[in-house]
Copies of this chain bind each other. A is one copy, B any other.
Amino acid sequence: MIGSFAPQEKTMKNFKSSPSRLETRSRFRSPNIQQVSMGGFWADRIAAVAEKTVPILQLRCDEAGMFDQIDPARPIPEQRIPFSTAFGGGKVRPVGGNVTAQMYWDSDVAKMVEAAAFSLASHRNDTIEAVIDRIVDMYEALQQEDGYLNSWYIRMQPGKRWTNLRDCHELYCAGHLIEAAVAYYQATGKRKFMDVMGRYVDHIASMFGPEPDKRRGYCGHEEIELALVKLARATGEQRYLELAKYFIDERGREPHYFLIEAEERAEEPGRFAHGTFEYNQSHIPVREQTKVVGHAVRAMYLYSAMADLVTEYGDETLRCALDALWDDLVTKRLYVTGGLGPSADNEGFTSDYDLPNETAYAETCAAVGLVFWASRMLGFGADTRYADIMEQALYNGALAGVSLDGMRFFYENPLQSRGNHHRWPWHRCPCCPPNIARLIASIGTYAYGVGESEIAVHLYGENQARIDLGGRAVHLSQNTRYPWDGSIAITIDVEEPTGFALLLRIPAWCATATLKVNDEIVDLAATLQRGYARLDRTWRPGDRVMIVLDLTIQRLYAHPNVRQDRNRVALRRGPLIYCLEGTDNSVPLDRISLAPDAAFEARFEENFLGGVVTLQAPATAETSDDWLQTLYRPEPPRTSPASITAVPYYAWDNREPGEMLVWLRET
């Protein structure tokens, strides 16, 4: 069950934290990409990304002409995507006349590089690494004397830089390039790209800030803030953190930068996509925000950076805002799949409890963004409230975004389909494929949180981790068939007896769990802190921890305010939400109804959908044989017996096209 894990020389090079001027207040930090090697469930997904998705991403970026735009050695290309279009809901529509999706190409290339870089950690590939090196060379060559680096504004629209932060994704592109550079450094030890980006960030810091000689700008699409935290952590440079903090602090303040900027462009300030600053979460200062609003991906990236700053600065005012925003999302605005942002119109949030299933936008990028946010909330300390949501979004709303073979992608992730929703090989706004790819490729870094003398296990799954705990190496080995089986054996390998606390997450969905250390039962209740069993002891080489989580199939009911889910249940087994697919069920899915007491059987099917547990249950289905020539009648529909098969939501639409349904009727 274990993937191709083998200690690599290169790994060790980055194993120790680099000396740092940055004083972190983080209680838990993620391990880096070299420290955790995944097996089992995730090894298959990581392999699909490394072997299929990454080459596809490189090919598509090339086909789209992105490298023609970046490479200063090539002639300046024709513009390929028209101005004045936006992509909400797949519709082309005017957004004010000065925006083109081509402005975002640096970010698409950057996310591809980041996904490729993370993949290299587990799947060495000289060809792919060579492509990245060439891209880094292009950017190095493209970089201006003053450090500025954006292919659109250097090559396609020179002279226009920093004139429209609201719409044009300029700092957003910088953010993704920074993330890519950090990832490539962590995966390969090659610093060139990170150094290039460091110079660009220095230029950005010279342009924007609270000082009187700088502009008080920030980006209309948050991203650079969290990227700057990554760069600060990777380089140990406090000033990158300070710039992130400035962007967060300034956002939504009066006088509003986007109004000033629009005036400078001699534009009507209200004429822009969606016409409200809620769209990009700049309607009020971030510390005053209590509702998750606007474009969902923007929101997730903002909150992720805010959480990072809470961690790094211990900023309680930011933390209060995050607590309110978190509660708002998870108690009123989150799909059971961990998807979010129901509306195609603003690619984002609407009103409380508005969670339509068939028209759910629930962009893959938004669920990926929620994993980012939740993982950063764990920086404050282990709390299964955050880890549960991270896992829910990861295994369902995010993972559905890529086909099992890694070759096709969802942008929208509805919870119901009449059979007309399918993954596509590419998209005009190709943000989602590299986003889910970079998450999967780096999933090991989300599994653990490392504190001073604590190791938290946030995600279960077959893997081996080598963790640096205050200079001592701790090797953890998880042996498990999770998420298909709830038994997790963890072996602790230390060179000598070492005292630290091992925090083991007991998910809130788990009704009963047992915990043993070296075959001795632990009183779970006595050890639980915020949903984590805390085992604080001196660990010896070969110590074994055994956790058994109850994966009994559960029916979930939605809050009575969610009209679309009324009289319906969602099926959950462990972290997985299930759905019905037309191909497995012989009647129209919405005609099916479960009795409240219908018993489910879970069955692992090794050669089905890459190996999944399916769920079977008896049900009934409305029949229409006796409705000839009748649309309405005084007698209720009759039913006949039906047996149903449910598959994990993430695995849907990998076979014949057909209907899909998450929320089943219960009567």
B633 and A560 contacting across the interface, CB-CB below 8 Å? no
Q: Is A586's beta carbon under 8 Å from chain B? A: no
**What distance in Å separates the Cβ of A575 from its nearest Cβ neighbour in chain B?**
14
Q: Which of B331, B554, B667 contacts A634 (CB 8 A)?
A: B554
Residues of B within 8 Å of A560, CB to CB, are 588, 591, 622-624, 627, 637
Residues of B within 8 Å of A19, CB to CB, are none
In chain A, positions 313-331 with a C-beta closer than 8 Å to chain B are: 327, 330-331
A634 and B556 contacting across the interface, CB-CB below 8 Å? yes
Residues of B within 8 Å of A559, CB to CB, are 624, 627, 630-632, 637
**What distance in Å separates the Cβ of A264 from its nearest Cβ neighbour in chain B?**
31
**A binding-site residues for B, Cβ under 8 Å:** 327, 330-332, 334, 336, 554-563, 566-567, 570, 588, 590-591, 596, 622-624, 627, 629-637, 665-667
B633 and A556 contacting across the interface, CB-CB below 8 Å? yes
B632 and A570 contacting across the interface, CB-CB below 8 Å? yes
CB nearest neighbor in B for A635:
B557
**What distance in Å separates the Cβ of A386 from its nearest Cβ neighbour in chain B?**
14
B630 and A331 contacting across the interface, CB-CB below 8 Å? yes
Residues of B within 8 Å of A554, CB to CB, are 634
A575 to B637, CA, bound (A): 22
A330 to B667, CA, bound (A): 28
A557 and B632 contacting across the interface, CB-CB below 8 Å? yes
**What distance in Å separates the Cβ of A132 from its nearest Cβ neighbour in chain B?**
41
Using A557-B636, A559-B624, A560-B637 as known contacts, say yes or no to A332 and B567 having CB atoms under 8 A apart. no
A424 to B68, CA, bound (A): 55
B633 and A557 contacting across the interface, CB-CB below 8 Å? yes
**What distance in Å separates the Cβ of A623 from its nearest Cβ neighbour in chain B?**
7
Residues of B within 8 Å of A334, CB to CB, are 631
Q: Which of B561, B622, B633, B667 contacts A667 (CB 8 A)?
A: B667
19 cross-chain CB contacts under 8 A: A331-B630, A336-B632, A556-B632, A557-B632, A557-B634, A557-B636, A558-B632, A559-B630, A560-B588, A560-B622, A560-B627, A560-B637, A561-B624, A566-B591, A566-B665, A567-B567, A567-B665, A570-B632, A636-B666
A566 to B327, CA, bound (A): 32
CB nearest neighbor in B for A358:
B563
A471 to B487, CA, bound (A): 94
Q: Which of B566, B567, B596, B637 contacts A557 (CB 8 A)?
A: B637
Task: Beyond A327-B629, A555-B634, A558-B632, list 15 extra A-B contacts (CB 8 Å).
Answer: A331-B630, A334-B631, A554-B634, A556-B633, A556-B634, A557-B635, A559-B627, A560-B588, A560-B591, A560-B637, A561-B588, A561-B624, A562-B631, A596-B636, A667-B667
A596 to B634, CA, bound (A): 12
Residues of B within 8 Å of A665, CB to CB, are 566-567
Residues of B within 8 Å of A590, CB to CB, are 563, 566
Using A560-B591, A637-B557 as known contacts, say yes or no to A330 and B631 having CB atoms under 8 A apart. yes
CB nearest neighbor in B for A637:
B560
A560 to B624, CA, bound (A): 6
**What distance in Å separates the Cβ of A388 from its nearest Cβ neighbour in chain B?**
11
Residues of B within 8 Å of A637, CB to CB, are 557, 559-560
**What distance in Å separates the Cβ of A595 from its nearest Cβ neighbour in chain B?**
13
CB nearest neighbor in B for A633:
B557
Q: Which of B331, B623, B630, B635 contacts A631 (CB 8 A)?
A: B331
A633 to B557, CA, bound (A): 5
Residues of B within 8 Å of A667, CB to CB, are 567, 667
CB nearest neighbor in B for A333:
B631
Q: Counting chain B CB atoms within 10 Å of each CB, which of A556, A570, A588 scores highest?
A: A556
**What distance in Å separates the Cβ of A302 from its nearest Cβ neighbour in chain B?**
22
**What distance in Å separates the Cβ of A607 from its nearest Cβ neighbour in chain B?**
32
Residues of B within 8 Å of A563, CB to CB, are 590
A666 to B567, CA, bound (A): 10
Residues of B within 8 Å of A567, CB to CB, are 567, 665, 667
A622 to B568, CA, bound (A): 13
A635 to B511, CA, bound (A): 13
A624 to B622, CA, bound (A): 30
